[in-house]
Amino acid sequence: MGVPQLIIDLAIMLMTAAFVTLVFKKLKLPVILGYIMAGFLISPYFPLFMTVESEASIETWSEIGVVIILFHIGLEFDLHKIANIGSTAVVSALVKMSGVMVAGYGLGRVLGLTSMDCIFLGAMLSISSTVVIQKCFEEQGIQHEKFTSIVMGSLVMEDVFGVIIMVVLSTISASNGVSGSALAGSLAMMGCYLVIWLILGIYIVPTLLNRFTENLNDETLTVLSIGFCFLMALIANMLGFSMELGAFLAGSLLAGTKQAHNIERVTSGIKDLFGAIFFLSVGMMVNPEIIKESWTAILPIAIVAVVAKLIFAMIGMILSGQELETAVKGGTSLAPIGEFSFIIAGLGISLGVMDEYLYPVIVAASILTIIAAPSLIKNSNKLVKLIYKLLPDRLIDALDSYTSADQDIEEKDQEWTLVIKDFLVKTSLYGVIMFIVAIVGIRIIEPLLERSFLEPTAETISCVIIYISIAVFIKPMLGFHNVNFTHLWMERMSNRLPLIVTVVVRIMVIAAVAYIPLRAFFGTRVLLLLGVVLAAMVVVGSTDVVQTYYLQLETRFLRNLNEKTLDDEELEFGETRWLDQDYSIFSFFVPEGADYVGSTILQLDWGRKLSVYVVKIRRGKKNIVMPKADTVIGVGDKLYVVADEASLQTFHKTLGLEGELDNLRTLNTFMNTGYEDTESALACAPIKVRGKERYVGKAIKHSGILNRGQCMILGIQRDGYAIRMPDANMLIRKGDILWVMGSNNNVGKLASHSVGLMGVHYDTENLTDRKKG
C-alpha cells in the first residue's frame, strides 16, 4: 500500500521547518524568517533539496492556516481591551496606515505598477508584524515601557483595520476598479451583518457555553471553538465576504466569554501548526530569479516601509497627545512588514487582480525590514537625540505644550463630547437594528405569511410585526434626557438648538426606517400614514410591557458582553465591591432664594433628569429618611442625595451650588457598621432574593419596596452584572442581589424576609449626632 503524497509532503515540510527554525533560534533570528527559509528550501526554486509535489493540497492547508490565524487575532479583539487601549492606539494606527498606504501607492506609481498593484502594495506596507515586534520587545527586555504598550495597542487596531481593508480590497477587485457606490454598499452591508452577528453572538454564544460548562473539557472545547470558527467563515463566504472576516468575528465573539483563555490555550497548538504551514507556503512562492531582477524595487519598498511608518506613526502618536520621545520610539518599532501583509498578498493573487511577481518582492522586502527591526528599536534613543538636535526649539516647545493645551479644551467640552458620542452610538446602533428588523420583515416574514393561510393580510400583519419590533427600541433611542444632555440644556440657551437637532435627527432616522415597509408593501400612496405609525410606535414603546421586555434584553446582552470582565473582577474583588466604587453621598443646605424652594420632590424630578435621588432630609432636629414624592423642599433643609460621582458633579453645577464637592463621600465611607440601631439612621444592605418574596417577578415600581417598605433600590446585581439605578420597569428575579437603602428599621424588615449578604451599613453621621444629643 502506497503512502499518500500529502503525508510525504507534510513530513518534508514539518521536519525541514523544525530543523531550520532550531538553527534560527540558536542564531537569535525571528522564527518567521526560519519558516520562510524552510519553505524556500523545499520549493521548486531550490532543486538541491527535497521538493514538495502536492502544491494544491499545501495551498488548501495554507488557507486553513490563514483562517486559524484570523480566528486567534479575533480572540485578542476584546471590546473591553480596545476601550482600555484608548484613543492613542486608534488615532496612531489610523494615521499611520492611511499615510503609509498613500506612500505605498505613490511608490508603486513610480515603479510603474498597475493601479490595482499599487493599491495592494500600499495595503501590504501599511500593516506591521505583531509577532516580530513583540518578540523584539521581549528579547530586549523593554516590554513594560510606556511606548511598547502603545505600540501593542496600535497593532491590535491595525489587525482590526486590516480585516476591513481586506473587505474593501475584495469589493474593489470584484468590480475591477474603485466604484464609490459599490464600495459604500459593500461596507454598509458588512456593517449590518456585523451588527447582526455581534448581537446574536453576544446573546447566544456565552449563554450556550455557560449552560454546558460542566461538559466542556479541553477536547470538547477545542472541537467546538474550531468548528465555530469554520462555521462563521463559511457563513461569511456565503454572504459574499471573505472567510477571514468570518473567522475573525468568530474569535471576537468568543473573546468576551469566560472560556476565552481556555480556548486560546487549547487551540494554540493548532494555530502554531497551521500558521507554520502558512509561512512555509509563503517561502515556497519566493522565486529567486524575480528577486534578482527586482532588487531595484525591493530596496525602495523596504526603505519606504521603514521611513513612512516612522513618520506617520510619529504624527499619529503626537496628534493623540504623546510626547515626541514616545512617538519616535513607537515609530521605529513599527517597521517590519509582517504576516497580515502576506495574507493580503495571497488575497490579491487568489482574486486574480495582483501580479504574482509582486508576492516574492514583498516577501523579500519584508525580510529586510524584519532583519532591521531589532537594530531600529535598539537605537531609537539615538534617533530621539538626533531629532531633538535637528528640530528648532520653538517647535519642540510647541510639541511639549500640545498635550496640556488639548487637555484644557477637552475638559471644557467634555459634556458636549459625551453627548455627541451618546448620540452617534445610539443613533447608529439602534438605527441599524431597526433597519435590519424592517428588511427581515419584508424579505422573510412577509413571504412566509404569503405561503400560509394568512396570504390576504400578509402585508398588514408583517407591518404590525415590524413596527412592534421597532417600537421596542424607540425609547432607548430617544432617551436623550441623560445627565449631560440635561445640564447642557439648562446651562445656556445657545446649547438648546444643537441639542434639539440631535433629537430631530433621531426622529428622522426612525421615520426613514418606518417608511421602508410602508413603501415596500403599499407604495407611496400611504405616506400620510407615516405620522400615525410613528405616533403608534411611540405609544407602544412607552408601555410597561415593552419597556420591561427591552430591559430584560438589555440586561442579558450587557451581562454576556461583560462576562469575562465580571468573572475576573469577582475573583479579584468579590461580587459586592461595586457599590463602594460607584455610589456617593452628597449633602448640602438649601439656600434662601433657590428656585427649587417650595417644590416637591416629584415636581423637581431630579431622579429622571439628573439621576440623583434624595434619600434623607434633615429639617432642624427632625430627620426624614426616604422622603415621599410630595415632600416639599424648604429653606435651611439639609438634603442628602445619592448618585454616582459624575452625576453629582453635574447636579452641583446645575443647581449652582457654591464651593466644591468637599463633603462628597462614598457610601462605604458614609455608612459604617458597629453602631446601635436608630430609627432615623440611614441604612444600606445587599439582599439576596430567594424566590419566595412577594415582589419576585414584579417590576420595581409595582414591588411595594418603595411605597410600602419605604426603601429604595440603588442597584441590582444579576448573574454578577451590576445594574446601577435600575429602571422602574425592571423585573426582580430569583437570585438577584438588591442593594437597598432606607431607614434602619425598614431595611431590617426587608432583609429579614430575604438573605442579607453583609451586615447592614448605618448612617454614622446621624448616630453620632443622636449620641451627642
Cell of 155: 497593532
pLDDT tens track for 180-189: 566 666 666 6
Distances in whole angstroms, Cα of residue 18 to Cα of each of 273, 284, 420 = 11, 16, 54
Distance separating alpha carbons of residues 325 and 381, to the nearest angstrom: 8
Looking at the predicted structure, is the pLDDT value of residue 102 above 90? yes
Percent of the chain residues past pLDDT 90, beyond the cut: 11
pLDDT at site 689: 87
Rg (CA), the chain: 31
Q: Are 705 and 749 in contact (CB under 8 A)?
A: no
Using 50, 70 and 90 to split pLDDT, how confident is the model at 412? Answer: very low
φ and ψ at 45, to 5 degrees? -85, -5
H-state helical runs in 175-287: 180-211, 218-238, 243-255, 260-284
Looking at the predicted structure, is the pLDDT value of residue 558 above 80? no
pLDDT at site 167: 74
DSSP-derived 3-state class of residue 542 = coil
Distance separating alpha carbons of residues 712 and 672, to the nearest angstrom: 19
Looking at the predicted structure, is the pLDDT value of residue 511 above 80? yes
Q: Are 471 and 541 in contact (CB under 8 A)?
A: yes
Using 50, 70 and 90 to split pLDDT, how confident is the model at 769? Answer: very low
DSSP-derived 3-state class of residue 615 = strand
pLDDT at site 766: 47
Q: Could you tell me where the beta strands, DSSP code E, fall in 58-114? A: none
List Cβ neighbours of 162 (8 Å cut-off, separation of 6 or more). Answer: 127, 340, 344
List Cβ neighbours of 103 (8 Å cut-off, separation of 6 or more). Answer: 122, 125, 304, 308, 312
| Count of alpha carbons within 13 angstroms of residue 637, beta-carbon side | 24
Higher pLDDT, 41 or 681: 41
pLDDT at site 79: 61
For the chain, the helix, strand and coil percentages under 3-state DSSP, each to the nearest 5: 70, 10, 25
Q: Are 579 and 644 in contact (CB under 8 A)?
A: no
SS (H, E, C) 261-323: HHHHHHHHHHHHHHHHHHHHHHHHCCCHHHHHHCHHHHHHHHHHHHHHHHHHHHHHHHHCCCC
Cell of 720: 454578577
Distance separating alpha carbons of residues 31 and 35, to the nearest angstrom: 6
Say which residue the cell 505583531 belongs to.
Answer: 130
Distance separating alpha carbons of residues 743 and 656, to the nearest angstrom: 29
- Residue 706 DSSP label: T
Higher pLDDT, 82 or 769: 82
Higher pLDDT, 672 or 306: 306
Distance separating alpha carbons of residues 218 and 215, to the nearest angstrom: 10
Cell of 10: 507534510
Q: What would the mean pLDDT of 268-294 be, rounded to a whole number?
A: 85
Say which residue the cell 497551521 belongs to.
Answer: 274
Q: Are 313 and 331 in contact (CB under 8 A)?
A: yes
Using 50, 70 and 90 to split pLDDT, how confident is the model at 457? Answer: confident
Give the dihedral sign, CA 204/206/207/212: positive
φ and ψ at 179, to 5 degrees? -105, 115
26 sits in the region (left: phi over 0; alpha: psi -120 to 50; else beta) called: alpha
Cell of 596: 427649587
Distance separating alpha carbons of residues 400 and 531, to the nearest angstrom: 55
Distance separating alpha carbons of residues 607 and 616, to the nearest angstrom: 14
Cell of 23: 538553527
Q: Over the range 2-40, which residues count as b (16 or more CB within 10 Å of their CB) and which as e?
A: eeeebeebbebbeebbeebbeebeeeebbbbbbbbbbbb
Distance separating alpha carbons of residues 670 and 268, to the nearest angstrom: 49
From the list 483, 449, 430, the residue with the least C-alpha distance to 644 is 483
Distance separating alpha carbons of residues 625 and 616, to the nearest angstrom: 4
pLDDT tens track for 433-455: 888 888 888 888 888 888 876 66
Q: Are 760 and 685 in contact (CB under 8 A)?
A: yes
Residue 117 exposed, middle or buried by CB count within 10 Å (0-12, 13-18, 19+): buried
Higher pLDDT, 593 or 771: 593
Residue 679 exposed, middle or buried by CB count within 10 Å (0-12, 13-18, 19+): exposed
Using 50, 70 and 90 to split pLDDT, how confident is the model at 579? Answer: low
The residue count of the chain comes to 773
From the list 695, 679, 696, the residue with the least C-alpha distance to 747 is 679
Looking at the predicted structure, is the pLDDT value of residue 670 above 80? no
pLDDT tens track for 622-650: 888 888 888 999 999 999 898 888 788 88
pLDDT tens track for 164-223: 788 778 767 665 555 556 666 666 666 677 777 777 777 788 878 878 877 888 899 999
Q: Are 700 and 726 in contact (CB under 8 A)?
A: yes
Give the dihedral sign, CA 225/226/231/233: positive
Q: Are 411 and 418 in contact (CB under 8 A)?
A: no
DSSP-derived 3-state class of residue 210 = helix
Looking at the predicted structure, is the pLDDT value of residue 765 above 90? no
Q: Are 712 and 742 in contact (CB under 8 A)?
A: yes
Strand partners, 643: 584
Looking at the predicted structure, is the pLDDT value of residue 394 above 70? yes
Looking at the predicted structure, is the pLDDT value of residue 304 above 70? yes
Looking at the predicted structure, is the pLDDT value of residue 11 above 50? yes
Higher pLDDT, 491 or 390: 390
Q: What average pLDDT does the chain have?
A: 80
In this prediction the pTM is 0.67
pLDDT at site 118: 92
